[in-house]
Structure 1
Amino acid sequence: MFIPALIWYALFAYWPMYGLIISFQKYNIVKGIAGSDWVGLKHFIAFFKDPFFPRLMRNTILLNVYGLVFGFPIPILLALCFNEIRNVVFKRITQTISYLPYFISTVVVAGIALTFLSPTTGVINAFLERLGVDAIHFFQEPGWFRTVYTTLGIWQSAGFSAIIYFAALSGISPELYEAARIDGANRFNQLRYVTLPGMMPTIVIMFILNLGSMLGADFQKIILLYNPTIYETADVLNTYVYRKGLIDFNYGFATAVGFFQGVVGFVLVYAANWISRKVNETSLW
């Protein structure tokens, strides 16, 4: 039963790693990997010396920090709220509504954002104008991009992510709550001493996995939303790789940047896992 999954990962996850060799070559499509000239660490050095490197790192890290600070707790709070709902029908309806945005295409989400935040016809600016506030050009002012991106990410993924935590809640033994009630624990104390400790292993694992993507971002969403006027805050490593690799055809350089992202992600996950194992004995391995 495990063989199909093993074959899939071997073909689509591990075998493509052979292509990382390109990051050390002046890759030529005609010559292929075997025939391309070796350039060593040239692409990595060029990337670190690139004048856009500080901006790319800052934007990528800040977008992910915003996602962790504001987006990571939301699914946990949603799961806790769902757990407190006693009406089964209402619980199912609210859960369905909350995770439906996850199944909406990124293209559609970006279109909704552009429409709602339009400075001329957008609902948000129409509301602001009624309050006497001037229209805001959300996609022309760099300062607004991180807020818009983070908000869209939370709206689109919070409900679906809450399913994971809700599953963790379902695994907590009802006997623990019964024992807590016998000991005189109110709803808040049950939440503090039973619910949260029961969820903590799942929370730790999800946090570690999120750290692994600190140098990544929702590439498709950013490509659909950004433009040169907001590169100051919207340009990230993934969009830079897209321009270098697919527009400028500099495949070796683009692969080197992706390689760098992967190595940093691995180091972050390994370090977080090691610290977690030492502190509370919860870890990925």
Structure 2
Amino acid sequence: MKLRTGAYSALLALSLLAAPAMAADQIVLPDEAQFPESIAISENGDIYTGSVTKGHIVRLPAEGGEPAIFVEGGTNGTISIGGLLLSPQEDMLYACSSDLGLNQFSGTAAPGLLSFDIESGDLTARWDLPGGGLCNDLVQAADGTIYVTDSFVPRILVLKPGADAFETLLQDERFTGDGFNLSGIALLGNSLIVAKFNSGQFFRINLDTAPNLTAEEITLDQPIIAPDGMRALSTNQLIATSAAGALAKLEIEGNKAQVTMLDHPLNGPTSLALHKDKIYATEGLLDKLSGEKPTQFTVAIIPQ
């Protein structure tokens, strides 16, 4: 499924902040990582990010080593790279690949989740999204179960340990809408928290109620515009990017959340990773996809 690049720009046209001041610290990404959508960081500080337009996954070694292409765009059916996640053992990198019609690889593969050997970069497995869709973001539970948000089909998918195909965990018509729908996902305790990009809604799915799962909307005490990537901070706190140019901390109790906007303006953030005492946020600038390409893409580094 292809998406008009203008859809993202139209959604944010009235919400993007003026160009923010430069972050206190940042990493300038190579051109191979232009329009980065996600980020993963290993325990030793290696950074992985992907390109929506090039289809590459790029590795930036810890301690200032030279960046290198980890997975070449177009190989193994990679088209536009979305969510990235390292396995708990850090021996595999999971990557969402979807077809946004943005490069020469469009039409060559179905949207899916791929896993790559961390040493060689070789493909170890591929799981296509049943019936198509957009593999946006993912989270892995302690037992190895992987949960994936689909931005085009109103569902959350689940990949159980050892399974060779996705199952639908939950489908809900409230996950539908124009443009991009479900985006970020996080595990808080035994609940999944998902964000809906175009509406700013958050939902909680209590996994303890399986097989009768439902999505309960979380009431925010202030709005979050275009929420995207999320990471859990504790069993009731998470941090999320707002594509309008900010990071938001959510403290969730039941189906209510207290929102604190962090005082670190960003330029079109799409995802984040937590490493030691820092937040690493990709400034993906996806609202610029249909216009003049920015001259620089960065990862902002912010104290927690």
TM-score range, shorter chain: under 0.3
Please tell me whether Structure 1 or Structure 2 has the larger radius of gyration of its CA atoms: 1
Where is the strand percentage greater, Structure 1 or Structure 2? Answer: 2
TM-score where L is the length of structure 2: 0.23
Higher relative contact order (CA 8 A, sep 6+): 1
TM-score where L is the length of structure 1: 0.24
